[in-house]
Structure 1
Amino acid sequence: MNRSSRTGNDHQLLIQALTPAQRSPLLNLARRIADAGCNLADARVSSIGVDTSLTLLATGSWDAVAKLESALAKFAREEDVHLVHYRTDTRAQASRLLPYLVEVISADRPGILVRIIDFFDRHGIAVEQLHSMRYQAMQTGAPMFQAQITVGIPADTHIAALRDDFLEFCDGLNLDAIMDPVKF
């Protein structure tokens, strides 16, 4: 969409907030979004260590988004929050992509996630969402790795062949993995 052709409530502001506080600034940011006359269209909140990361998408009219931008500048000065925001465009519908969930568990070793992401990149498959972590195995205390990845597979891809290639790839790295369609 051409930015100059926007009208109405289709202006978007992407907001990234990082804070060392254990208390999430989500409520305060959501209030500022609403007070500016915008809508909170999408939100991602993660606790990583003792820190909190938020990614928010606010939508509204041009003047409401401008008001929100001013409110965010004041918010960042008043709170212990690292804040980045910018205007963005509406994402085009990816109707030709099939959403699949990939789950991987293994003993933790450096480079596992890079190799998994590289596999999908070489096959022209977009990583839409990713959550990974390290943890200690309950029984043995061994360091473990776990990842949940949502990928967008082009509709013309032969899914069975891709799944076979992926599982063979994982077997070669001694990874326990599944790849199933996302169920809504």
Structure 2
Amino acid sequence: MNRPSARAGTDNQLLIHTLTPAPRTPLLTLTKRIADAGCSLSDARVSTIGNDTSLLMLATGAWDAIAKLETALAKLGRDEELRLSHYRTGPREQTGTLLPYLVEVVAADRPGILVKVVEFFSRHDIRVEQLSSMRYQAMQTGAQMFQAQITIGIPSQIHLATLRDDFLELCDGLNLDAIMDPVKF
């Protein structure tokens, strides 16, 4: 049986997500399984949150290598302390018209800060690409603080100065210290 050429290439992808107690992170095990299956690790995120570690990985390979990896993951998923899920996905659409911007917000912690910020971008059809937030205690005063770093994709037709002004006005009204700058890399 002839397989379509797209399936024979390396554009087959498997998204893998795990949650484990922090000292038992399966990072080494998963990277070995990905390589042993003949796949490449295209993207990965590792994050320790509370007492647990989350791994998010994107493996890429030929259809048979992805199938081999799925079998290996099924065996690994039998570990009681490991929560593992995976599914096939496709290559990300190239959106060359999105401008990457970094948003940073710092404020005295209170419920709903992130909701208001994400709502603002959602209303403007701006995609959140990455988000990292945390609570911490200020060393100088002991106050509970909130901090977020958000990478967004702004459609090129949006007027940047107006968007920035509207965002900073929102932040001023919510008593948030914020910046919105282009990603420079």
Partner of 1:38: 39
Structure 1 residue runs of 5 or longer lacking an equivalent are none
Partner of 1:139: 140
Question: What is the Cα deviation at residue 79 of structure 1?
Answer: 6.2
- Match of 1:92, SS state, is coil
What does 1:1-184 correspond to in 2, within 5 Å? Answer: 5-78=6-79, 80-184=81-185
Question: What is the Cα deviation at residue 7 of structure 1?
Answer: 3.1
The one-letter amino acid paired with 1:39 is S
Q: Deviations over 1:116-164 (max 9, x none)?
A: 0000000110000000000001011111000000000001110011000
Q: Deviations over 1:71-119 (max 9, x none)?
A: 0011111462100000001101110000000000000010000110000
In 2: Cα distance, 1:143 partner to 1:136 partner = 5
In 1: Cα distance, 2:115 partner to 2:5 partner = 39
In 2: Cα distance, 1:4 partner to 1:17 partner = 31
In 2: Cα distance, 1:50 partner to 1:78 partner = 18
When normalised by structure 1's length, the TM-score is: 0.96
- Match of 2:122, SS state, is helix
Bigger mean CA deviation after superposition, 102-111 or 14-23? 14-23
Question: What is the Cα deviation at residue 4 of structure 1?
Answer: 9.0
Question: What is the Cα deviation at residue 56 of structure 1?
Answer: 0.1
Indicate conservation of the 8 Å contact 2:136/2:144, yes or no.
yes
Change (3 A) 1:146 1:101: same
In 2: Cα distance, 1:79 partner to 1:39 partner = 27
Change (3 A) 1:39 1:5: closer
In 1: Cα distance, 2:136 partner to 2:31 partner = 32
- Match of 2:22, SS state, is coil
In 1: Cα distance, 2:177 partner to 2:164 partner = 13
Change (3 A) 1:141 1:125: same
In 1: Cα distance, 2:57 partner to 2:166 partner = 36
- Match of 1:127, SS state, is strand
Q: Deviations over 1:160-184 (max 9, x none)?
A: 1100000000000000000000011
When normalised by structure 2's length, the TM-score is: 0.95
Bigger mean CA deviation after superposition, 166-175 or 13-22? 13-22
Structure 2 residue runs of 5 or longer lacking an equivalent are none
Question: What is the Cα deviation at residue 21 of structure 1?
Answer: 3.4
